[in-house]
Amino acid sequence: MTTVSAEALVGRAVGGDPRAVARLVSLVENGSPDLRDITAQLVAHAGSAAVVGVTGAPGVGKSTVTSALVGAYRAQDLKVGVLAIDPSSPFTGGALLGDRVRMQDHATDRGVFIRSMATRGHLGGLAWATPQAVRVLDAAGCDVVLIETVGVGQSEIDVAGLADTTLVLLAPGMGDGVQAAKAGILEVGDVFVVNKADRDGADQVVRDLRSTVRLAERAPGDWRQPIVSTVAARGEGIDELVEAIAAHRAWAAESGEAQRRRTRRARDEIEAIAVTDLRRRFAALHGDERLDDLAQSVLAGELDPYAAAEKIVAAVS
Confidence of residue 311 (pLDDT cuts 50, 70, 90): confident
Q: Give me the mean pLDDT over the 219-224 stretch.
A: 90
Cα distance between residue 20 and residue 191, in whole Å = 34
pLDDT at position 280: 79
Residue-level pLDDT at 306: 92
For 18-55, the pLDDT digits (tens) are: 999 999 999 988 888 888 889 989 998 998 999 999 98
Q: Is 268 left (phi over 0), alpha (psi -120 to 50) or beta?
A: alpha
Q: What is the mean pLDDT of residues 82-107?
A: 63
> Mean of the pLDDT values across residues 103-130?
73
Q: Residue 87: pLDDT above 90? A: no
What is the CB neighbour count within 10 angstroms for residue 12? Answer: 17
Tell me what the mean pLDDT of segment 175-196 comes to. Answer: 71
* Residue, of 80 and 127, whose pLDDT is higher: 80
Model pLDDT, residue 299? 93
pLDDT of residue 91: 47
The predicted model gives 203-209 an average pLDDT of 92
pTM (two decimals): 0.84
What is the band of 265 on the pLDDT scale with cuts at 50, 70, 90? confident
Average pLDDT (221-230) is 95
How far apart are alpha carbons 112 and 80 in whole angstroms?
5
223, pLDDT greater than 70: yes
Which fold does the domain 47-255 belong to in CATH? Rossmann fold (3.40.50)
| pLDDT number for residue 29 | 85
Q: Say what the pLDDT of residue 97 is.
A: 54
Instruction: Evaluate if residue 123 carries a pLDDT over 50.
Output: no
User: What are the pLDDT digits (tens) for 227-255?
Assistant: 999 999 999 999 999 999 999 999 999 99
Asked if pLDDT for residue 122 goes beyond 80, the answer is no
pLDDT digits (tens, 9 = 90+) for 140-160: 999 999 999 876 554 456 788
Confidence check: pLDDT of 102 > 80: no
Q: Where are the domains of the chain?
A: 47-255, 268-315
Identify which has the larger pLDDT, 218 or 144.
144
Q: How much of the chain exceeds pLDDT 90, in percent? A: 48
